[in-house]
Amino acid sequence: MQSFDPKIFINSLSEEPGVYRMLDKELQVIYVGKAKNLKKRVSSYFRSHIPESKTRALVKNICSVEVTLTNTETEALLLENNLIKQYQPRYNILLRDDKSYPYILLTDHIHPRLSFHRGAQKIKGDYFGPYPSSGAVSQSLRLMQKIFPVRQCEDAYYRARSRPCLQFQLKRCSAPCVGEISQTDYQQQVSFVRLFLSGKSSQVISELVNKMEAASIALNFEKAATFRDQILVLTKMQEQQSVTGTHAEMDVIGFESKNGLTAVHILIIRDHKILGSKTFYPKIPKDSTENEILASFLSQYYLSVTNGSRIPKEVVLPFTYPEQAELAAALSQVSDRKIKLQTTTRGEKYQYLQLANKNALNSIVIKQSAQDSITKRYDLLKETLQLDNINRMECFDISHTMGENTVASCVVFDSNGPNKKEYRRFNVTGITGGDDYAAMAFALKKRYSKMIDESKVPDVLFIDGGKGQLSQAETFFKDWHLDKLPLLIGVAKGTSRKPGLETLLMDAGRKTINLDSHSPALHLIQHIRDESHRFAIAGHRNKRQKQRNQSILEEISGIGQKRRQAILKYLGGIQGVNAANKEQLCNVPGISQELAEKIFNHLHDK
């Protein structure tokens, strides 16, 4: 690779806005930044005296710099955010909790459906949210069913109905699938839902009152009673959820740094109600300033949605920072409306801010307490196993039903507890059903046979089982190709299989360790074992459910989707296919005699 000369590179740089990417000797992006003037900003990294230790460490690793010009600072900010999400550079402050937020979706069908939605917003319809958790969405959907009888069933279920389902009997759906409600009345309920989810519950109540009065005048008392019930539920809900606040749409950002941990707490306020809150713990390079942390967090959090629907009209900040106006302009452009970022020192907003800061501090205290507990467990486990250090532990478990759909799990724990990104599942094949020993040997081979990175080799490897499972691990590691060997431990359940009575097996079962049921070291082992058990069962259930949902015709090679549909349609479903002989199968359009024989033999072998 050609050596990097900063002076030559800087002389060639433009003074326009843009984004720069710094790369190391392996051409990995280690830092992404934006600039109003690229030449000035990039040259500041290569001064003779750099006071910040973080910047000095970054510059030592720079072997190349790439730039992308943009038309405006706002474009640079948006591009910077996208590149940070793409490359996850180690010298940038990273928002680790980047799961997409749950929304409520009102689809764009003839009879629109209300549903839970997470992920890319590709389905046509109106999206309402975001909500702080999936539980909040589920709760809102249950409330919707009680107030507005709009369908929530899957499209396939909706299309297949020939008579009203149980939800109609419970008055939680108006059964548009079978014409129990007119199109006009159904669309009216949909419009109420849209207004309600937009935070205009008072307008909904006002319209319902007018509808009730009109129905009463027309002597349609049954319809008037329905509107009355909806009004009562909405009014009661307003009384329960309303707060004394005067702000309809606002996010309040709490911020706290303590003992090496930083927490950012977001209080979400919509329609004068506290909808929920969420705490984030950004991954922060050493010596980062509070201004850098807040700026990086806000841009990554709010610019990670393409349609701007998450961004409220107002965001209350814990303190001002230099790039505040720039981010406000970018958010306004993304959401196509004026977005205000501001701080406050008095009034109702300040009370909200104090509450958010209090929650951020409390989150750090709780997280540190949990971390201290994990550290204590690790220390006692090291003492019990007589090890100098434990950086990584792994545990294996096997799950199946009567030998079918066997799945092996491998969970990973480090000094911070479960490392779920490193978890792995293996579909076990080529063994006799129900042979747990062979399944364990299969999983170990899959996991470790091609491993070349010693940092990925666990210090301790737990096997959920007795001597038989442990012997499979010991046999595998006899011809181990790396220098580092894990300590192998079997976790055997007691005779009553109650937690606290586990026995640790070592050295082919010749050495046993029985820990006190109150020992924190045993609690850590139980946590690892239970996590591997949970992960294996979840994988097994997913595999079993997938198999149940799969047509037996999908198992036959040469039978694609169109042929399956033709066979099922011609023979009247899977029962007709099972009852058909070779001649009847051969009469299906597109099915040759050879293919008919193949289908017949496969079905009857089954």
The CA distance from 592 to 604, in Å, is 18
The CA distance from 515 to 530, in Å, is 17
Sequence-separated (6 or more) residues with CB below 8 Å from residue 125: 105, 106, 107, 108, 112
pLDDT band at 487 (very low <50, low <70, confident <90, very high): very high
The CA distance from 114 to 123, in Å, is 12
DSSP structure string for 575-590: HHHHH--HHHHHTSTT
Q: How many C-beta atoms surround the C-beta of residue 424 within 10 A?
A: 16
**596 has a pLDDT exceeding 70:** yes
Summarised one tens digit per residue, pLDDT across range 340-390 is 999 988 888 888 898 888 888 888 887 777 777 788 888 889 888 888 888
| pLDDT recorded at residue 156 | 83
The CA distance from 600 to 566, in Å, is 16
Q: How many C-beta atoms surround the C-beta of residue 109 within 10 A?
A: 14
| pLDDT recorded at residue 201 | 67
Cβ contacts of 82-89, under 8 Å, gap ≥ 24: 83/19, 83/21, 83/29, 83/32, 84/32, 84/296, 84/300, 85/300, 85/304, 87/21, 87/29, 87/32, 89/22, 89/29, 89/30, 89/31, 89/32
Q: Strand 487-492 to strand 503-506: parallel, antiparallel, or no bridges (unpaired)?
A: antiparallel
As a whole number, the mean pLDDT across the chain is 82
Query: For the residues 62-88, what does the mean pLDDT come to?
Result: 83
The residue that leads in pLDDT, 211 or 522, is 522
Q: Strand 314-316 to strand 503-506: parallel, antiparallel, or no bridges (unpaired)?
A: unpaired
Summarised one tens digit per residue, pLDDT across range 323-340 is 898 899 888 888 888 889
pLDDT band at 61 (very low <50, low <70, confident <90, very high): confident
DSSP 3-state of 146:
helix
DSSP structure string for 478-510: GG--SS--PEEEEEE--TT--TT--EEEETTTT
**318 has a pLDDT exceeding 90:** yes
Summarised one tens digit per residue, pLDDT across range 558-592 is 777 788 788 877 777 777 778 888 888 888 888 88
| pLDDT recorded at residue 264 | 92
| pLDDT recorded at residue 244 | 43
| pLDDT recorded at residue 343 | 92
**438 has a pLDDT exceeding 80:** yes
Summarised one tens digit per residue, pLDDT across range 492-515 is 886 666 666 788 888 877 888 888
Whether the Cβ atoms of residue 492 and residue 465 lie closer than 8 Å to each other: yes
Sequence-separated (6 or more) residues with CB below 8 Å from residue 382: 388, 389, 390
| pLDDT recorded at residue 535 | 92
| pLDDT recorded at residue 462 | 93
Q: What percent of the chain lies above the pLDDT cut of 70?
A: 89
Order across the sheet with 18-23: list the strands: 29-35, 18-23, 64-69
The CA distance from 362 to 360, in Å, is 5
Please provide residue 305's backbone torsions phi and psi, each rounded to the nearest 5 degrees.
-110, 135
Rg of the chain over Cα atoms, rounded to whole angstroms, equals: 31
The CA distance from 358 to 320, in Å, is 19
State how far the alpha carbon of 286 is from the alpha carbons of 29, 90, 256, 371, in Å: 18, 11, 16, 19
The CA distance from 62 to 31, in Å, is 9
DSSP structure string for 409-459: EEEEEETTEE-GGG-EEEE--SS-TT-HHHHHHHHHHHHHTT---GGGS-S
DSSP structure string for 171-225: TS---GGGTSS-HHHHHHHHHHHHHHHTT-HHHHHHHHHHHHHHHHHTT-HHHHH
**243 has a pLDDT exceeding 50:** no
The residue that leads in pLDDT, 426 or 237, is 426
Residue the block writes with tokens 């029962």: 575
| pLDDT recorded at residue 458 | 92
Summarised one tens digit per residue, pLDDT across range 81-115 is 878 878 889 888 887 655 566 888 888 888 888 88
Residue the block writes with tokens 């909790």: 97
**233 has a pLDDT exceeding 90:** no
The CA distance from 224 to 208, in Å, is 9
Summarised one tens digit per residue, pLDDT across range 282-292 is 888 888 889 99
| pLDDT recorded at residue 394 | 94
**309 has a pLDDT exceeding 80:** no
pLDDT band at 412 (very low <50, low <70, confident <90, very high): very high
The CA distance from 393 to 414, in Å, is 6
The CA distance from 348 to 304, in Å, is 29
Summarised one tens digit per residue, pLDDT across range 165-216 is 888 888 888 899 988 888 888 988 888 888 777 766 677 777 778 778 877 8
Whether the Cβ atoms of residue 150 and residue 171 lie closer than 8 Å to each other: no
| pLDDT recorded at residue 315 | 92
Domains and CATH numbers, the chain: 6-87 (3.40.1440.10), 103-241 (no CATH), 249-363 (3.30.420), 392-547 (3.30.420.340), 552-605 (1.10.150.20)
The CA distance from 507 to 490, in Å, is 9
| pLDDT recorded at residue 272 | 67
| pLDDT recorded at residue 278 | 82
State how far the alpha carbon of 500 is from the alpha carbons of 35, 248, 321, 377, 534, in Å: 58, 52, 53, 15, 18
User: 197: closest CA among 114, 117, 259, 267?
Assistant: 114
Q: How many C-beta atoms surround the C-beta of residue 339 within 10 A?
A: 21
Please provide residue 207's backbone torsions phi and psi, each rounded to the nearest 5 degrees.
-70, -35
Q: Could you report how far apart the first and last alpha carbons of the chain are, in Å?
A: 60
User: 319: closest CA among 340, 346, 359, 290?
Assistant: 290
CA 478, chain centre distance (Å): 39
Whether the Cβ atoms of residue 287 and residue 52 lie closer than 8 Å to each other: yes
pLDDT band at 78 (very low <50, low <70, confident <90, very high): confident
**550 has a pLDDT exceeding 70:** no
Give burial (CB, 10 Å; 0-12/13-18/19+) of 411. buried
